[in-house]
Amino acid sequence: MEPYVLALGGFGALVLLTAWLPMVVRRLPLSLPICCVGIGAGLTLLPGLAGHAFHPRERLALVEHASEFVVIVSLMGAGLKLDRLVGWHRWMVTWRLLAIAMPLTIMALAALAAALLGLGAAAALFLAAALAPTDPVLASDVQVGPPQQGREDEMRFALTSEAGLNDGLAFPFVHLAVALAAAGGLGARELGAWLAIDVTWKIGAGVALGALIGRGMGWLTFHLPNHAKLSRSGDGLVALGITCLTYAAVEAAHGYGFVGVFVAALALRSAHRSHDYHYKMHDYAEELERLLMMVLLVGFGAALMTGLLDALTWQAAAFALLALFVVRPACGWLSQFGSKGPPSERAVISFFGIRGLGTIYYLAYGMRHAAFEQADLIWSVAGLTILVSILLHGVTVTPVLRFLDRRSGRDTESAQLGLPLPAKPAAG
């Protein structure tokens, strides 16, 4: 059989699984990512297919751009689904996670990588920065529901908004690691340039251009004269166009496109918060994201069986477990010190910082721009961390959130199915 015909059939099967699998696993302690990784690993056992799998280091450009695309689509969907207005107090848990938890996580992981894996400063910082962000693609099970659901509990809101922003905010640390690897060390002048350009300018450009484009697209979509309102088209494809346009514009201005896309989604949503068209655009972005995610995770599962984990040592395995079970939970918990949320919900926010395709993107991006020591070890450690995160969080998220929903009086089934939550009955 021709490879093209085989690929076409495989793609068709994957599309069908994209539509059907979520319904099959919804009530099980499983997740769609677990199934995808398992499918990818299983495919390598079929005669003739194992030779088509590859280690990510062999196709860095392909891996970088494929993971980049699925992340920006996910960021648009995450921004569109948030009902809560941006504000200092309303987003306080998010700001804490971004300003405290993420830097603490990077510092702790970098120190752990140096001590446990023997990596130099540049490689340790690079691995830590790549593993720090909560992944917006794989975090759908712990995120809020579609737009206008009406209620956003603090757990789901915090994890959705954190995932929307920290994938872009990890970029300065990746750039710092790349600069360290290229120069072998940085002085005060280089650090000043890093703060001015990689931190201040690039973040500022992402926020400013994202807000400008999002508001502009919101006006075009919702506020043109009635006979020309673009929202009347009902075409969710608009979400993809805005995503790509925003990302390209922000990157052309040397800003962080990840930040720009998420901010643009928030600004677009604010143009007419109650319009049903947001639901249409969100659904399209979510469906496209799920399909792209499945393709990449099938490839990830195949890579696991064909060399991605070959450089593992017991120290690497210990690092992965400490990163997931100690570092992220501890840093997340510390960042919420003094907050008013129940301890159980703060624990969920701290623990469910899922690692995934964003990490793969940063590894591919960084290794295309600098030569890092023990690159195979870095890939293996990251691959194991992502695998354990997918399994751990995929198995635990449904029962844990269902238990907390029931205890707090939320409609568990509606919350899980993404349906509008009914009003809570009045007391007595």
**Helices in 82-201 by DSSP H: which ranges?**
92-96, 102-117, 121-131, 154-169, 171-183, 188-193
376 in any annotated domain = yes
Considering only CA atoms, give the Rg of the chain.
21
Q: Please indicate, yes or no, if residue 387 is contained in any of the structural domains.
A: yes
CATH number at residue 204: 1.20.1530.20
Cα(404)–Cα(133) distance, integer angstroms: 25
pLDDT in tens, 180-212: 998 877 778 889 999 999 999 999 999 999 999
Identify the CA nearest to 316 among candidates 376, 391, 365, 393.
376
State the total domains in the chain.
1
User: Average model confidence (pLDDT) for the chain?
Assistant: 84
Please calculate the CA angle 405-95-285 and round it to the nearest 5 degrees. 65
Given a cut of 80, is residue 414 above it in pLDDT? no
Given a contact cutoff of 8 angstroms between Cβ atoms, the answer to whether 29 and 399 are in contact is yes
Q: Is residue 386, in this structure, part of any structural domain at all?
A: yes
Residue 36 lies in a domain: no
Per-residue pLDDT reduced to its tens digit, 320-373: 999 999 999 999 999 988 777 788 888 888 888 888 889 999 999 999 999 999
Structural domain boundaries, residue 364: 56-410
Per-residue pLDDT of 41-54, as tens digits, reads: 888 887 766 667 78
Tell whether 41 is covered by a domain.
Answer: no
Q: What is the pTM of this model?
A: 0.88
What is the pLDDT at residue 150? 54
| Least confidently predicted of 351-365, 378-392, 406-420 | 406-420
What local confidence, expressed as pLDDT, does residue 403 receive? Answer: 80
Q: Output the pLDDT for position 412.
A: 47
> What is the arithmetic mean of pLDDT over 285-295?
87
Give the span between the Cα atoms of 393 and 354, in whole angstroms: 7
Residue range 288-298: mean pLDDT, rounded: 89
Is residue 181 one of the residues assigned to a domain? yes
pLDDT value, residue 23: 73
Q: Helix axis angle, 237-252 relative to 202-222, nearest 10°?
A: 150
Q: Is residue 373 part of a domain?
A: yes
Domain-located, residue 383: yes
